[in-house]
């Protein structure tokens, strides 16, 4: 088992001759495609000709040029000071953007086809393999701009969005936090907070919060810049609400997602009840923001990475042996980077793509939170690997189904952990389970509402200072935490480090995925053979809408019942926790 990334799976170094060779191959292939279809327009009228054109288009997805971009990205994730990787990444991004811009005409022309022609294409048998892709393209074409406008927006994306976010992340990743005479990397300090005794926890949190505030001026400019950039693009494209582009991009229905957000917001009393139990367990008059994710007792056994691997492997294998095989292969190939270190990006993620190996980044610190993170991110990895069974056009998946897959595997692993605990530790585990559910559902929906409010103020006032951004953050944080938790004005500066608020309404997918995954896991627990239907979800990739994918598993995500059932499940767990801790 390897515990560090082997990036040679992508490139041997920044000077690897394969990088330029792959870029030139992409340049030639795309230039050939563009030359052909700029002139030959038969595919805009004839289904057979369009099938040939789409087959040519799909071949471009599998080109190797993207591997170098992933390589430079991953090097930066391991070391924020890697300026050479950042420089090459910028060059590759510019080159790739220019290549992509030459192809914009292809999809734009298809999107502008007469409705009658679109209908003809959607029912043509020869186009059946591409039907869902075409339907998505036709449905969203009304938001397309002209080819020159699309090129301008694409070219400006790096400087109007990516570099702003990278600047804040670079600054944060260089920061250290003083704790017990040591200077800890910020990500390590953040991960430690919830595991410390109350006085020590609050002291460390205050030091971390000071770091957030020290970066407040930069984050203020960054947030206002990228939110204003989004406002401009939304207005140009005709989106009427700031969340609309994200929800449609994730192939969900805005009405059903707003209904989800509303349902969760109206049931915040469930979260309030939980934090009142937590306050009693911690024996405090009031909780502070530092206590939000604090443990209420010790599950004494530490979880070193080897043990976490054993638990997660067994969990995955019990669902389906092929999942354990994928898990082992990624670990043995050096596709998982495990330990935190100075300069390494905080948090965790999984990334991969067509003709690109799947990589997972962790910051494991030998506790149960890290075990759950391992299961969560490797759940993404299983989904990514299983979706590779699709044709290149459908190898990906929308974020809405991604978060369902990851929370499904995380919950399965957690069930196995709880079963292995001593009875006196199960109360602690139940608390931690409920706490995770509260964070995944209520906290993320509170963040969604924070984003709604912040977008509205920036669009109304033109610019919102950091103090007001922090105030808005506190308003929505307090709404779900309830009266048991007392916030201070500086707590709102958590916006500085919360990457999700830069991904424009991405957070709803956590609540969506958590509540759906609860339903899927319940079906598997009732009938282990149901995992075959769940695996059908994983292998569907992007070949069907999330609605149709989950409909094939017996779940109707356009009806509120599935979300209400999930909330009721959380409420039952809170009631059980109340009963056990009286």
Sign of the CA dihedral with 497 first, then 499, 500, and 503 last:
positive
- pLDDT at residue number 367: 81
pLDDT in tens, the chain (582 residues): 999 999 999 999 999 999 999 999 999 999 999 999 999 999 999 999 999 999 999 999 989 999 999 999 999 999 988 999 999 999 999 999 999 999 999 999 999 999 999 999 999 999 999 999 999 999 999 999 999 999 899 888 878 898 899 999 999 988 999 999 899 989 889 989 988 999 999 999 999 999 999 999 999 999 999 999 999 999 999 999 999 999 999 999 999 999 999 999 999 999 999 999 999 999 999 999 999 999 888 767 678 999 999 999 999 999 999 999 999 999 999 999 999 988 898 889 999 988 999 999 999 988 878 898 999 999 999 999 999 999 999 999 988 899 899 999 999 998 888 777 777 778 888 898 999 999 999 999 999 999 999 999 999 999 999 999 999 999 999 999 999 999 999 999 999 999 999 999 999 999 999 999 999 999 999 999 999 999 999 999 999 999 999 999 999 998 888 899 899 999 999 999 999 888
Tally the residues of the chain: 582
- Whole-number pLDDT of residue 301: 65
User: Rounded to an integer, what distance in angstroms lies between the CA atom of residue 384 and that of residue 378?
Assistant: 9
Distance of CA 168 to the CA centre of its chain: 19
Burial group, residue 117, by CB count within 10 angstroms (0-12, 13-18, 19+): middle
- In the chain, DSSP finds a helix count (H) and a strand count (E) of 26, 5
SS3 184: strand
Topology at the third CATH level for domain 300-420: Collagenase (Catalytic Domain) (3.40.390)
Find where tokens 């075409």 sit: 134
**Distance from C-alpha of 66 to C-alpha of 75, rounded to nearest angstrom:** 14
3-state secondary structure 482-515: CCCECCCHHHHHHHHCCHHHHCCCCCHHHHHHHH
CA 323 to the chain's CA centroid: 21
CATH of domain 227-299+438-582: 1.10.1370.20
Contact present, 531 and 457 (Cβ < 8 Å) = no
* Cβ count within 10 A of residue 111: 17
Instruction: Give the Å distances, CA to CA, from 394 to 342, 391, 397.
Output: 37, 6, 7
Specify which residues 544 forms β-bridges with: none
Q: What's the pTM?
A: 0.83
Are the C-beta atoms of residues 52 and 43 closer than 8 Å to each other?
yes
Surface-to-core class of residue 200, CB atoms within 10 Å of its CB (0-12 exposed, 13-18 middle, 19+ buried): middle
Kindly give the pairing relationship between strand 356-361 and strand 176-179: unpaired
The CATH H-level (homologous superfamily) assignment of domain 15-144 is Oligopeptidase f, N-terminal domain (1.20.140.70)
Give the CA-trace dihedral at 243, 249, 254, 260, to 10 degrees. -80
- The two structure tokens encoding residue 305: 């990475």
pLDDT recorded at residue 124: 98
Pairing outcome for strands 356-361 and 336-337: parallel
Beta bridge partners of 36: none
The ranges assigned to domains in the chain are 15-144, 227-299+438-582, 300-420
pLDDT, tens digit (0-9, with 9 covering 90-100), for 194-251:
889 999 999 999 999 999 999 999 999 999 999 999 999 999 999 999 999 999 999 9
| CA gap 160, 444 in Å, rounded | 26
């Amino acid at each position: 088992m390897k515990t560090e990334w082997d990036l040679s799976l992508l490139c041997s170094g920044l000077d690897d001759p394969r990088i330029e060779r792959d870029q030139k191959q992409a340049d030639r292939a795309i230039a050939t495609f563009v030359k052909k279809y700029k002139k030959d327009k038969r595919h805009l009228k004839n289904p057979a000709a369009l099938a040939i054109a789409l087959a040519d288009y799909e071949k471009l997805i599998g080109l190797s040029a993207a591997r170098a971009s992933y390589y430079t990205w991953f090097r930066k994730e391991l070391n924020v000071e890697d300026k050479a990787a950042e420089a090459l990444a910028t060059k590759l991004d510019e080159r790739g953007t220019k290549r992509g811009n030459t192809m914009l005409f292809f999809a734009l022309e298809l999107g502008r086809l007469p409705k009658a022609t679109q209908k003809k294409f959607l029912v043509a048998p020869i186009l059946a393999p591409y039907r869902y892709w075409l339907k998505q393209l036709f449905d969203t074409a009304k938001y397309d701009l002209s080819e020159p406008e699309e090129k301008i927006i694409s070219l400006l994306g790096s400087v109007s969005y990516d570099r702003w976010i990278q600047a804040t992340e670079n600054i944060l990743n260089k920061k250290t936090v003083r704790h017990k005479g040591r200077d800890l990397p910020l990500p390590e300090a953040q991960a430690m907070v919830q595991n410390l005794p109350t006085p020590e926890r609050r002291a460390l949190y205050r030091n971390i919060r000071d770091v957030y505030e020290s970066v407040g001026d930069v984050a203020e400019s960054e947030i206002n810049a990228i939110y204003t950039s989004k406002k401009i693009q939304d207005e140009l494209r005709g989106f009427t609400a700031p969340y609309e582009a994200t929800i449609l991009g994730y192939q969900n229905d805005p009405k059903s997602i707003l209904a989800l957000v509303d349902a969760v917001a109206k049931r915040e009393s469930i979260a309030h009840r939980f934090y009142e139990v937590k306050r009693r367990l911690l024996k405090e008059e009031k909780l502070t923001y530092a206590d939000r994710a604090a443990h209420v007792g010790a599950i004494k056994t530490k979880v070193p990475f080897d043990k976490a691997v054993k638990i997660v492997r067994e969990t995955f294998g019990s669902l389906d042996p092929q999942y354990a095989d994928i898990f082992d292969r990624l670990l043995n190939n050096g596709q998982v980077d495990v330990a935190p270190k100075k300069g390494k990006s905080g948090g965790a993620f999984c990334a991969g793509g067509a003709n690109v190996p799947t990589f997972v980044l962790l910051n494991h610190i030998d506790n149960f939170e890290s075990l759950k993170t391992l299961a969560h991110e490797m759940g993404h990895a299983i989904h990514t690997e299983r979706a590779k069974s699709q044709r290149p056009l459908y190898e990906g998946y929308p974020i809405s189904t991604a978060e369902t897959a990851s929370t499904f595997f995380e919950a399965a692993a957690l069930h196995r952990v709880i079963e292995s605990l001593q009875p006196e530790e199960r109360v602690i585990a139940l608390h931690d389970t409920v706490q995770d559910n509260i964070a995944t559902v209520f906290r993320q929906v509170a963040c969604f509402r924070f984003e709604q409010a912040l977008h509205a103020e920036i669009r109304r006032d033109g610019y919102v200072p950091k103090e007001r951004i922090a105030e808005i953050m506190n308003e929505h944080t307090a709404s779900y935490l309830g009266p048991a938790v007392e916030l201070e004005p500086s707590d709102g500066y958590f916006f500085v480090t919360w990457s999700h608020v830069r991904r424009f309404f991405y957070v709803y997918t956590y609540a969506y995925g958590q509540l759906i995954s609860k339903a899927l896991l319940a079906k598997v627990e009732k009938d282990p053979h149901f995992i075959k239907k769940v695996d059908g979800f994983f292998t569907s990739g992007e070949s069907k809408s999330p609605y149709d994918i989950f409909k094939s598993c017996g779940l109707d995500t356009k009806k509120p019942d599935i979300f209400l059932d999930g909330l009721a499940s959380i409420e039952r767990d809170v009631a059980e926790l109340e009963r056990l801790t009286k």
